[in-house]
Amino acid sequence: MLTELIVLLLGSIYSGVRSVILGIYSDEVEVHDQTSKISYNLRSVITGLIIGLSIALFMGIRSSVLFAETITLQTRRVKKQRVKISGIHRKVQG
């Protein structure tokens, strides 16, 4: 929950700062667009996509690793309980 809020907050801050920078430095953007093959807007979109995909991959991989660790721990606990239970049955039967 906290991670999602942080991502939304950072995205909002990025958009706000980006729009302010583009408004203040509009002359620099025009000069950049004239001299560069890639326009400033396209560059912003590509940068946003790369950052978004990086965050999504990071969160997805982290989530799957944490889930796998949880399942592994639960499996170990169940196996220990089975060993204890089977040991108790042997003592009672024997």
Model confidence over 44-93: pLDDT tens digits?
A: 889 999 999 999 999 999 999 888 888 877 777 777 766 666 555 554 45
CA distance 29 to 38: 11
Q: Which pLDDT does position 92 carry in this prediction?
A: 47
Asked if 22 contacts 29 with a C-beta cutoff of 8 angstroms, the reply is yes
**What sections of the chain are H helices per DSSP?**
2-24, 26-35, 40-93
**What is the arithmetic mean of pLDDT over 29-45?**
80
Residue 71 CB-density burial (10 A; 0-12 exposed, 13-18 middle, 19+ buried): exposed
CA distances from 43 to 13, 72, 94 (A): 18, 43, 76
Q: Which domain holds residue 61?
A: 2-93
Q: Which pLDDT does position 25 carry in this prediction?
A: 64
CA distance 69 to 86: 26
CA distance 67 to 47: 30
Q: Kindly report the number of other CB atoms within 10 A of residue 7's CB atom.
A: 14
1-22 per-position pLDDT tens digit: 678 878 888 888 887 787 777 6
Q: Which pLDDT does position 12 carry in this prediction?
A: 84
- How many domains would you assign to the chain? 1
